[in-house]
Amino acid sequence: MNKSLALLTLSLSALLTPAHALDIAPYSAQALSAKQQAGELVGLHFHANWCPTCRAQEKVFNAFKGDASVPGTLLVVDYDQERELKRELNVRSQSTLIIFKGKEQKHRSGGLTDAPDLRAAWVAAR
């Protein structure tokens, strides 16, 4: 009986604990470096508040926050402020998304707003 109760408790705990889904945070060089050093999936979203495409992307990314099929971390880069990072990564337009697995770039796009396309980019980068 004790084994059955322990198994049931463990099973319920697994069901009630959310799987790791997309985490969204402001960009910092330290956060990017830590995620890359750990070999994790990390994306950079070059976002401008004045950009309607960026706002559309933001809505899609926020919807992914509870979705375990879209793992990793999205760091939101202020397009107007992070000039050195844009130069370093050759980013020429707002709404650019770059996804890394560790330090290896796995995806780069600009202007994607369709949820299935953005999900596919994350899944393919794993």
Q: Give per-residue pLDDT as tens, 75-122.
A: 999 999 999 999 999 999 999 999 999 999 999 999 999 999 999 999
Percentage of residues in the chain with pLDDT exceeding 70?
A: 85
Neighbours of 121 (CB within 10 A): 18
Band the pLDDT of 17: cuts 50, 70, 90.
very low
The answer to whether the CB of 77 falls within 8 A of the CB of 42 is: no
The answer to whether the CB of 75 falls within 8 A of the CB of 31 is: yes
Strand partners, 44: 75, 98
Residue in this structure with the two tokens 């009630």, named with its chain if needed: 16
